[in-house]
Amino acid sequence: WDLPALAFLVEVVECHDMREWSDSVLEIISRRLQSESREKRRLALRGLVALSKDPSVAEGIRSLTQNLMDLLQDADGEVVALILSVFLNELQDRATLISSPTALQLAEVLQSLFANDNSHVQLLSIHLFREVMELVMDKGKKALKAHVCQSLLPLFFHCHDE
């Protein structure tokens, strides 16, 4: 019953205001992120995408950042695209500054996604990379400068190829 119950929860999350229940929903979803079942991971990520659109849930989703970054190595392009969408929703229309260690770790993972076979993943990773570079805290920008310079040439080639 776990998969149908999770599917029902995701449908409810996408249709209703979940502010009152967001902590419980986040707990249920976060447990399914590490599931061996690809479908459970996809459903959990769909739920996170829906929740990440609500600024009141941002802090809870931020606590899942490391788990989500670990999942970015997944071979499933749909899973990666959903994770990138969660990150983009978290950064969209907010004055959220990103700490330099998190930004550097995310930038390294995103650079490897520029060459992903899935063009949607490529576009999302390039867009998220730009957002991360804009929102990194001022004191961390020097540390990222070298990494950004190394990323520009592959980014240029990927943009040119498209």
Q: Are residues 15 and 67 in the same domain?
A: yes
Query: Can you give the pLDDT at residue 94?
Result: 61
Q: Are residues 30 and 76 in the same domain?
A: yes
Total number of domains in the chain:
2
* Of 56, 71, 96, the domain-final residue: 96
- Provide the residue-wise pLDDT of the chain in tens; the chain has 162 residues: 677 877 877 777 776 666 667 677 788 888 888 888 888 888 888 888 888 887 777 778 888 888 888 888 888 889 899 999 999 988 875 656 677 677 778 888 888 888 788 889 888 988 888 888 777 755 556 656 666 666 666 666 666 665
Q: Are the beta carbons of 118 and 157 closer than 8 angstroms?
A: no
Q: Which long-range contacts (CB under 8 A, 24 or more apart) does 42-45 make?
A: 42/76, 42/78, 42/79, 42/82, 43/3, 43/6, 43/7, 43/10, 44/6, 44/10, 45/79, 45/82, 45/83, 45/86
Query: Can you give the pLDDT at residue 85?
Result: 92
* Of 68, 96, 124, the domain-final residue: 96
Residue 146: domain span: 99-161
Q: Are residues 80 and 117 in the same domain?
A: no
Q: Are residues 44 and 124 in the same domain?
A: no
Q: Are residues 151 and 116 in the same domain?
A: yes
Burial of 77 (0-12, 13-18, 19+ CB in 10 A): middle
* Of 79, 96, 113, the domain-final residue: 96
Q: Are residues 44 and 92 in the same domain?
A: yes
Query: Can you give the pLDDT at residue 162?
Result: 58
Q: Are residues 28 and 16 in the same domain?
A: yes
Q: Are residues 31 and 106 in the same domain?
A: no
Q: Are residues 10 and 69 in the same domain?
A: yes
Run of H or E residues at 12: helix 2-15
Q: Are residues 88 and 108 in the same domain?
A: no
